Amino acid sequence: MARLQSAALLPAPIVPFPAPQRPQPPRQPAPLPLSPPHLAGGELAALEATLASGWIAPAGPMPAAFEAAIAAATGFPDVLATASGTAALHLGYHCLGLEAGDEVWTASLTFVATIAPAVQMGARPRFLDVDRETWTLDPGLLERELARAGRRGRLPRAVVPVDLFGQSCDLDAIRAVCDRWGVPILCDSAEALGATQRGGRHAGRGARLAAFSFNGNKIITAGGGGALAAEDPKLIATARHLACQAKEPAAHYQHETTGYSYGLSSILAAIGCTQLAALEARVAARRAIFARYAEALGGLPGLSFMPEPAWGRSTRWLSVALFDPGRGAPDREAVRRALAEAGIESRPVWKPLHLQPVFRGAPHAGGTVAAELFEHGLCLPSGSALTPAQQDRIIGIIQDCGRQACGKA
Ligand SMILES: *Cc1c(COP(=O)(O)O)cnc(C)c1O
């Protein structure tokens, strides 16, 4: 017994290196992620130059150059580069004076980061359904809800529309309604860098503030990062102050309020600058991928794609298909599983926030459009480096699912 115990205490036997050869399974094609980063080519040189400059903290010429490039790409007069898109939203809520107990209204069909910072600040969220033609905040519904809230004197502190899957919301219509009631707009444009809205303006323009993301899955990436953009430079000055620990100008450390450490590292800003230069090419590539899916699969019964309103250009950040089994399409989950078995990542459309357990009991206004899109919608691999051969594999699997659905009917 004693001997057994001491044997158990011995270190594990050393595995000879190289490890013994196991029989290899037949070679699988490389797994296909939903929206992986796509290097532009100049990142390494930009990194080396930045490291050599010695400016590697969130200060110096690189974050400023990235901010100027984002301003040029979006048309916003002033921009702050941040550590993430969520940080940009958090600062945006501060800029609008959000306080505990205030209401914030947003589209229900979005990623949780749209509203998470507001909730963490003590705000009460209210979720509104989306429009079937844009999948973004329904301006007509917003108009009715704001009128009702205005009559009661219970207006929200902010309205937060979301530019979804690369498509701008109808910001002109939303703005007209919000202006009537004096409610400011913080637009979550995290998914829509490169998109245009009415008048050819960039997504987010016309909102008091807009937030962008350079997370690894977005159309371009800085390896993480975000940006807050505003028409009024005073708001960006406020955000900049809060993003750097709210330091007052003094030789010692002086604070009149508390802030955050939300600046973007120069190293990431250097990557971001390189990536941003490729934005138009990335938009073209994602739109071509969408067009190819739509062309190859659009004829399958019960299958349709996210619409694009005539007034704007979606980047098609993600290509999203709807599978309506009532009209003969295969079940969305069956398609997702078939793709997953082949190592291909696809994901259901965002689960509406009013259906998330964390927001149980939060008020919700409008119909069931977001819930239906969640039930039937599938985001297909959309990375700008996806090759035609890889896309053909995806298309073939979905066509097979379609044939099986037909056989069942
Ligand atoms: C990605 C995303 C964010 C958050 O951006 P991060 O940079 O990941 O913090 C916010 N809102 C939406 C809608 C997003 O898709």
* SS3 annotation, 367-397: CCHHHHHHHHEEEECCCCCCCHHHHHHHHHH
Q: Is the pLDDT of residue 6 over 80?
A: no
- Between the CA of 212 and the centroid of ligand 1 the distance, in Å, is 8
CB atoms within 10 A of CB 339: 21
Distance CA 210, CA 85 (A): 10
Looking at the chain, the whole-number percentage of residues with pLDDT higher than 90 is 89
Task: Determine contact, residues 351/249, Cβ cutoff 8 Å.
Answer: no
pLDDT category, 345, cuts 50, 70, 90?
A: very high
Strands 186-188 and 226-230: unpaired
pLDDT category, 8, cuts 50, 70, 90?
A: very low
pLDDT at 30: 82
pTM for the predicted model, two decimal places:
0.93
Distance CA 141, CA 174 (A): 10
pLDDT tens digits, 230-272: 999 999 999 999 999 999 999 999 999 999 999 999 999 999 9
Task: Determine contact, residues 162/107, Cβ cutoff 8 Å.
Answer: yes
Mean pLDDT (the chain, rounded): 94
CB atoms within 10 A of CB 24: 6
pLDDT at 59: 82
Reduced DSSP (H G I as helix, E B as strand, rest coil) percent helix, strand, coil of the chain, to 5: 40, 15, 45
Looking at the chain, the whole-number percentage of residues with pLDDT higher than 70 is 92
Overall residue count recorded for the chain in this entry:
409
Strands 364-365 and 124-128: parallel
Lowest model confidence (mean pLDDT) among 221-225, 286-290, 400-404: 400-404
Tell whether the torsion through CA atoms of 344, 350, 355 and 361 is positive or negative: positive
pLDDT category, 28, cuts 50, 70, 90?
A: confident
Domain boundaries, the chain: 43-276, 279-408
Q: Which residues make beta-bridge pairs with 305?
A: 321
- Between the CA of 85 and the centroid of ligand 1 the distance, in Å, is 5
Q: Which residues make beta-bridge pairs with 179?
A: none
345-370 mean pLDDT: 98
Residue 320: name the closest of 330, 334, 308 by CA.
308
pLDDT at 2: 43
Task: Determine contact, residues 387/333, Cβ cutoff 8 Å.
Answer: no
115-125 mean pLDDT: 98
pLDDT at 3: 47
pLDDT tens digits, 359-384: 999 999 999 999 999 999 999 999 99
pLDDT at 10: 52
- For residue 18, cis peptide bond before it (omega within 30 degrees of 0): yes
Nearest residue by C-alpha to atom 8 in ligand 1: 215
Query: In a 3-state reduction of DSSP, which class is residue 69?
Result: helix
Taking each helix axis from N to C end, the angle separating 43-53 and 266-276, rounded to the nearest 10 degrees, works out to 150
Distance CA 158, CA 107 (A): 12
**Number of the ligand 1 atom closest to the C-alpha atom of 214:** 7
**Number of the ligand 1 atom closest to the C-alpha atom of 114:** 11
pLDDT at 11: 53
- Continuous H helices in 152-232: 171-181
Distance CA 323, CA 126 (A): 29
Asked whether 189 lines ligand 1 (CB < 6 A), one says no
Residue 39: name the closest of 256, 281, 201, 212 by CA.
281
**Number of the ligand 1 atom closest to the C-alpha atom of 191:** 15
- Between the CA of 311 and the centroid of ligand 1 the distance, in Å, is 24
Of the candidate CATH numbers 3.90.1260.10, 3.40.640.10, 3.40.50.880, 3.30.2270.10, the domain formed by 43-276 belongs to 3.40.640.10
Q: Residue 230 is inside which H or E element, if any?
A: strand 226-230
pLDDT tens digits, 154-192: 999 999 999 999 999 999 999 999 999 999 999 999 999
Q: Residue 364 is inside which H or E element, if any?
A: strand 364-365
- Between the CA of 330 and the centroid of ligand 1 the distance, in Å, is 30
**Among 110, 111, 165, residue to substitute to test ligand 1 (most atoms within 8 Å of Cβ):** 111
Torsion of CA 334, 24, 38, 34, to 10 degrees: 10
CATH number attached to the domain at 279-408:
3.90.1150.10
Asked whether 191 lines ligand 1 (CB < 6 A), one says yes
Distance CA 42, CA 274 (A): 6
pLDDT at 7: 45
DSSP state of 81: E
312-317 mean pLDDT: 98
DSSP state of 101: T
Taking each helix axis from N to C end, the angle separating 43-53 and 61-74, rounded to the nearest 10 degrees, works out to 140
Q: Is the pLDDT of residue 309 over 90?
A: yes
Distance CA 262, CA 83 (A): 5
pLDDT at 83: 98
